[in-house]
Amino acid sequence: MRKRATIAKALSLAAAPLMFSCAMALAQGGAPNGADGASQAQGPFELVDPKVFRVCADPRDMPYSNTKGEGFENKLAALLAKELGKSVSYTFYPNAPGFVRKTLALYKCDVIMGMPQGNDIVQVTNPYYQTTYTLVFRPNTGLDGVDTLIDGRLKDKRIGIIAGTPPATNLVLDGLIAKSKPYPLVIDTRYDSSAAAMIHDLMDGTIDAGVLWGPLAGYYAKQAGAPITVVPLLKESNGPRMTYRIGMGVRYSDQQWKRELNRLIRKKQPEITALLQSYGVPLIDDSNHLIKAAPIAK
């Protein structure tokens, strides 16, 4: 998941790695106790400029972030900065190995807007959303009603999968890997998107279905120009877990800053939830149920 290579990777490590996405591209920048890790960025202060909400992000990683401020993490940063009476500034760097080491750990920013809980390369705030991997397919192609990878209707289908992510293990365990089409986890987000490529292949019939991280699936399904069914995978009984909580990443030394962000998350959670749902992110509650979008007031 480009950023989500980071997340994906992160998840991988967490799950076993969790992808999440976590051999994590971010994480590969250094261990938390390493000389260059974010946990070593100790100092007499927490924020370089208390008047600015300083973010490190990928310059081309929709739906999360881009240089135009169009991603939901861009919008979230603006929301929190406004609440604090701060301006927003960015240090952009591709989500690739070394991301944390070359950004947050060097005080080039004070927060990374999306990090999975369980990732120890940075200190992670309380989660502001929980989401899951999904199954995507075109309606009326014989897969309507499929909500688990063990469904027999998938046995003869070609399924797209991001290599190295947790669901790849499920495809192996469920006997679906032989006919699958893999897409790379670690890519240069300036030029490529495995999620976009998967959705393109789904639309032209190269694959019959795909397994994709929820935020990517929801966003690219909305961009496809034709109906795509997005089914949260909430019933898997074998393999790594599919659902993960996402917070923000800060330095281990920044305890007060973490508490401030946690306060903002609690206060602005309804707005954060609505923002995420506007991008098609499938949100999961603590009971492992899909959170339905609130009706729009007329």
pLDDT tens digits, one per residue of 3-27: 544 455 455 433 333 333 333 333 3
For the segment 259-264, the average pLDDT, to the nearest whole number, is 98
Q: Which residue has the higher pLDDT, 22 or 206?
A: 206
Q: What 3-state class would DSSP assign to 158?
A: coil
Of 44-48, 268-272, 288-292, the range with the highest mean pLDDT is: 268-272
pLDDT at 241: 92
pLDDT at 132: 98
User: Is the domain of 121 the same as that of 12?
Assistant: yes
Q: What 3-state class would DSSP assign to 113?
A: strand
Question: Where in the sequence is the domain holding 27, given as residue range(s)?
Answer: 3-129+244-278
At residue 242's C-alpha, the angle toward residues 240 and 245, to 5°, is 115
Chain-centroid distance, C-alpha 282? 11
User: Is the domain of 20 the same as that of 113?
Assistant: yes
CB atoms within 10 A of CB 51: 9
Residue whose tokens read 């310059």: 59
For the segment 242-264, the average pLDDT, to the nearest whole number, is 97
User: Is the domain of 140 the same as that of 124?
Assistant: no
Q: What 3-state class would DSSP assign to 146?
A: coil
Q: Is the pLDDT of residue 86 over 50?
A: yes
**Domain tally, the chain:** 2
Of 47-51, 145-149, 238-242, the range with the highest mean pLDDT is: 145-149
Q: What 3-state class would DSSP assign to 240?
A: coil
Q: Is the pLDDT of residue 215 over 80?
A: yes
In 3D, which of 280, 264, 294 has the Cα closest to residue 77?
A: 264
User: Is the domain of 125 the same as that of 141?
Assistant: no
pLDDT bin (cut points 50, 70, 90) of residue 294 is low
User: Is the domain of 113 the same as that of 32?
Assistant: yes
User: Is the domain of 202 the same as that of 183?
Assistant: yes
**b/e 118-142 (16+ beta carbons within 10 angstroms → b):** bbbbbbbbbbbbbbbbbbbbbeeee
Inside any domain, residue 198: yes
Q: pTM here?
A: 0.85
User: Is the domain of 224 the same as that of 99?
Assistant: no
Angle between helices 194-204 and 214-223 (to 10 degrees): 50
Angle between helices 166-173 and 3-15 (to 10 degrees): 60
pLDDT at 20: 39
pLDDT at 28: 31
Q: Is the pLDDT of residue 41 over 50?
A: no
Report the mean per-residue pLDDT for the chain.
86
Inside any domain, residue 183: yes
Tell me the C-alpha to C-alpha distance, in Å, between residue 39 and each of 15, 21, 50, 243, 293.
22, 22, 20, 26, 37
Kindly state the percentage of the chain with pLDDT values over 70: 83
Residue whose tokens read 């789904």: 202
